[in-house]
């Protein structure tokens, strides 16, 4: 529940290492569906945690993890993501990046939805047009904004999508996005069967997919309680389940889910409650999971705040950043379930670096911090209190208070947290630009690419630029990166762009969230994906 507060968002570009993602389709990283799983009972049902989807189960209208993990189990996209964030073809046989603005997609023949309809190019084109249409008001419509013909203001067709034959279509983009192919594994890009458009409302309640799992039957989604999925015998692809199905139980609190895990009522849990941070590794032993995730945490000090504009602002931001003892806070407050940040992205993303030029601004250095603060005071003496706003419904108080204390003790200024009762209130003020303090920000990637952490947040006039940051040098490096079709070259440019950010600190990087989870003795082969959701299809039940 807390995770959905960090948006699944993105627009982005950054190329996959090759221009062509050629298929490993059909290869098998799980066990067969013939009833003889590798080391487990292939008919056994795995019990996992989830939360009530906040929207109907329509891929383009689901932007939070509760619905997302169900859709990911029920649908197969053109590509899929492996645990390390690398991509593999699923429905796609071949995706060719003709140039940074044009792609050709060829899909495999003979794949079907669970209602028997064949998956063709048309299913993708129709689904994407549905998701993009302004009057459909889909929460994930922004995934299509780079496609030719997209409009937020009026209903328009995605003219950039063109069907070549039943199994081939081309995508024309309205601006270079060399990593577009890499995005295609996100749920917004799933195909929809024709049945969806006959009655989208009942489809949202009983979705028909083409993925590894399908609904156990009509009404398998019991609201507020759970959803029962069984493996789809007709699924033919790299994600063939090694188990018989998933029983996803919805929890309103992570504490109750954790109690169920300890009592053996739950096989796999992908979110350990804060209250168990101290004990979960001893409770679970080697069945505890604690690894970096694609989630970046920060706070933003907008330039429009007094004392934070221009040269003075740059000095003060750097001073504040250097006065935070990130290591101590992640150790003490988070019990090691966060990793101190060394850039603006995440260690699970290809191209992440802990040695960017200027990254020392993220290290705790009280002497240097005081020096910089004094320099800023020489420009204009400091007055007032430094505050960091946060939403009190998300478990942020402890770290905000600790961070404020760290700043206060180092710089000798008044610093404190400013709680807002709910996330909606905080976001309301941030969006309206009425907020008069620094505020917490975070970002969870939609797809494993560096650009996704940079473009939507810090480019001039970017959709989620909460601090209204603008720097032509950064913009230039970013757009060069997104036009580069070579992944190495692109990543190099994105790293250079981040070095600009490290100077300006449009957001103050704090730490990367880890995915903390665990599993019971009843299951094996549990591996967490790059997006912090377990790769359910690989899990086997110990018989």
Partner 1 sequence: MALYILKRILQAIPVFFGATLLIYFMVFAMPGDPIAALFGDRQPNPALLERLRAQYHLDQPFIVQYFYYIAGIFRLDFGISFSGQPVIDILARTFPVTLRLAVMAVVIAFVLAIVIGLFSALGKGGIFDNSMLVVALVFVAVPIFVLAFLAQYFLAVQLGWFRPTVGARNDWGDLWLPAIVLGLSVYATSMRLTRTSTIETLNQDWVRTAYSKGLSRGRVIPVHVLRNSLIPMVTDLGTVFGILMVGATVTEGIFNVPGVGNTLYQAIIRGENPTVVSFVTVFVVVYVLINIVVDLVYGLLDPRIRYVPS
Residues that bind partner 1 (CB under 8 A): 4-10, 52-56, 63-64, 134-135, 137, 139, 141-142, 152-153, 201, 204, 222-226, 249-253, 255-257, 259-260, 262-263, 265, 393, 420, 422-429, 431-432, 441-444, 456, 463-466
């009843």: which residue's tokens?
522
Q: Name the one residue in this structure whose structure tokens are 């003020």.
A: 429
- Indicate the residue among 167 and 447 with the shorter CB distance to partner 1: 447
Angle made by CA atoms 327, 332, 338, in degrees to the nearest 5: 55
What is the spatial distance between Cα 541 and Cα 521, in angstroms, rounded to a whole number? 9
292: part of which helix (H) or strand (E)?
strand 288-300
Indicate the residue among 168 and 464 with the shorter CB distance to partner 1: 464
The least CB distance from residue 522 to partner 1, in Å, is 15
Closest CA to 359 of 374, 339, 379, 344: 344
Length in residues, the chain: 543
Residue 64 or 312: the one with the smaller Cβ distance to partner 1 is 64
Q: Rounded CA gap, 395 and 119, in Å? A: 43
Q: Which is nearer to partner 1, 355 or 434 (CB)?
A: 434
Asked if 58 and 204 touch (Cβ cutoff 8 Å), the reply is: yes
Residue 11 CA: distances (Å) to CA of 184, 189, 202, 314: 11, 13, 30, 28
Q: What angle do CA 156, 112, 236 make, to 5 degrees?
A: 125
Q: How far is the CB of 372 from partner 1 (least distance, A)?
A: 28
**CA triplet 208, 43, 206: central angle to 5 degrees?**
15
CA nearest 406: which of 509, 499, 326?
326
- What minimum distance in Å lies between the beta carbon of 523 and partner 1? 18
What three-state secondary structure class fits 121?
helix
Interior CA angle at 114 toward 109 and 116, to 5°?
60
Of 446, 450, 453, the closest CA to residue 144 belongs to 446
Give the separation between CA 389 and CA 419, rounded to whole angstroms: 6
Facing residues of 540 across strands? 524
| Backbone angles phi and psi of 505, in degrees to 5 | 50, 60
Judged by beta carbon, residue 202 or residue 409, the one nearer partner 1 is 202
Alpha helix segments (H runs only) across 484-536: 487-504
Q: If residue 197 lies in a helix (H) or strand (E), which one and from where to where? A: helix 194-198
For residue 5, the minimal CB distance to partner 1 (Å) is 6
User: Residues 505, 372: contact at Cβ < 8 Å?
Assistant: no
Pick 113 or 250: Cβ nearer partner 1: 250
In sequence order, the β-bridge partners of residue 92 are 107
Minimal distance, residue 37 CB to partner 1, in Å: 26
> Which tokens belong to 2?
């807390």
Give the whole-angstrom CA distance, residue 331 versus residue 364: 14
Cβ proximity to partner 1: between 128 and 443 the closer is: 443
Please report how close the Cβ of residue 7 comes to partner 1 at its closest, in angstroms.
3
CA angle at 364 for the pair 361 and 367, rounded to the nearest 5°: 90
Q: Which is nearer to partner 1, 11 or 92 (CB)?
A: 11
Closer residue to partner 1, CB minimum distance, 221 or 386: 221
Show the beta-strand stretches assigned E in 350-402.
386-391
CA distances from 290 to 306, 334, 520 (A): 40, 12, 15
CB nearer to partner 1: give 350 or 466.
466
Q: How far is the CB of 445 from partner 1 (least distance, A)?
A: 12
- Which one, 91 or 257, has the nearer CB to partner 1? 257
Q: Which is nearer to partner 1, 52 or 122 (CB)?
A: 52
Q: Which is nearer to partner 1, 72 or 312 (CB)?
A: 72
- From residue 303, how far is each of 112, 284, 461 by CA, in Å? 53, 46, 14
Q: How far is the CB of 220 from partner 1 (least distance, A)?
A: 11
Minimum separation from the CB atom of position 165 to partner 1 (A) = 34
From the CB of 121, what's the least distance to partner 1, in Å?
A: 27
| Shortest CB 30 distance to partner 1, Å | 27
Nearest distance from C-beta of residue 525 to partner 1, angstroms:
25
Which three-class secondary structure state does DSSP give residue 514?
A: strand
The minimum distance between CB 362 and partner 1, in angstroms, equals 20
């Amino acid at each position: 529940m807390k995770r959905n507060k960090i948006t699944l968002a993105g627009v982005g570009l950054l190329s996959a290492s090759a221009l062509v993602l050629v298929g490993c389709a059909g290869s098998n990283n799980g066990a067969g569906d013939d009833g003889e799983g590798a080391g487990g009972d292939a008919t056994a049902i795995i019990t996992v945690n989830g939360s009530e989807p906040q929207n109907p189960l329509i891929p383009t209208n689901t932007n939070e993890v509760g619905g997302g993990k169900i859709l990911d189990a029920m649908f197969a996209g053109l590509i899929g993501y492996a645990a390390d964030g690398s991509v593999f073809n699923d429905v796609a046989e071949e995706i060719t990046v003709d140039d940074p603005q044009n792609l050709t997609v060829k899909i495999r023949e003979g794949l079907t939805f669970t209602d028997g309809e064949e998956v063709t190019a048309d299913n993708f084109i129709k689904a994407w047009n549905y998701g993009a249409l302004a009057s459909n008001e889909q929460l994930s419509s922004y995934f299509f904004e780079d496609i030719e013909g997209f409009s937020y203001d009026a209903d328009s067709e995605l003219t950039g999508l063109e069907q070549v034959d039943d199994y081939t279509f081309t995508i024309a983009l309205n601006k270079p996005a060399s990593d577009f192919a890499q995005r295609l594994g996100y749920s917004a890009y799933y195909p929809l069967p024709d049945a969806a458009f006959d009655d989208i409302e009942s489809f949202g309640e009983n979705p028909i997919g083409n993925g590894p799992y399908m609904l156990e039957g009509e009404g398998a989604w019991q609201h507020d309680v759970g959803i029962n999925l069984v493996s789809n015998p007709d699924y033919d692809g790299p994600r063939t389940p090694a188990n018989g199905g998933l029983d996803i139980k919805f929890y309103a609190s992570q504490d109750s889910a954790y109690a169920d895990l300890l009592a053996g009522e739950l096989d796999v849990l992908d979110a350990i409650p804060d209250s168990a941070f101290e004990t979960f590794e001893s409770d679970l032993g080697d069945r505890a999971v604690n690894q970096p995730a694609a989630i970046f945490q920060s706070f933003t000090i907008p330039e429009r705040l007094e004392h934070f504009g221009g040269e003075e602002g740059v000095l003060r931001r750097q001073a504040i950043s250097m006065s935070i003892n990130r290591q101590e806070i992640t150790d003490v407050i988070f019990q090691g379930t966060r990793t101190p940040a060394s850039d603006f992205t995440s260690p699970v993303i290809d191209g992440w670096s802990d040695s960017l030029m200027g990254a020392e601004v993220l290290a705790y250095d009280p002497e240097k911090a005081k020096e910089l603060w004094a320099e800023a005071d020489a420009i204009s003496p400091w007055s007032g209190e430094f505050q960091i706003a946060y939403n009190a419904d998300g478990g942020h108080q402890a770290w905000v208070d600790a961070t404020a204390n760290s700043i206060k003790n180092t710089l000798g200024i008044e610093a404190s947290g400013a709680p807002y009762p709910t996330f909606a209130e905080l976001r309301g003020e941030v969006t309206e630009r009425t907020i008069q303090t620094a505020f917490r920000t975070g970002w969870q990637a939609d797809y494993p690419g560096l650009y996704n952490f940079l473009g939507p947040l810090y480019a001039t006039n970017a959709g989620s630029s909460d601090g209204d940051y603008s720097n032509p040098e950064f913009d230039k490096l970013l757009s060069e990166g997104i036009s580069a079709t070579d992944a190495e070259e692109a990543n190099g440019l994105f790293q250079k762009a981040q070095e600009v950010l490290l100077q300006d600190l449009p957001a103050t990087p704090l730490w990367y969230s880890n995915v903390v989870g665990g599993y019971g003795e009843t299951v094996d082969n549990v591996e967490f994906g790059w997006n912090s959701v377990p790769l359910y299809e690989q899990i086997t039940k110990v018989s």
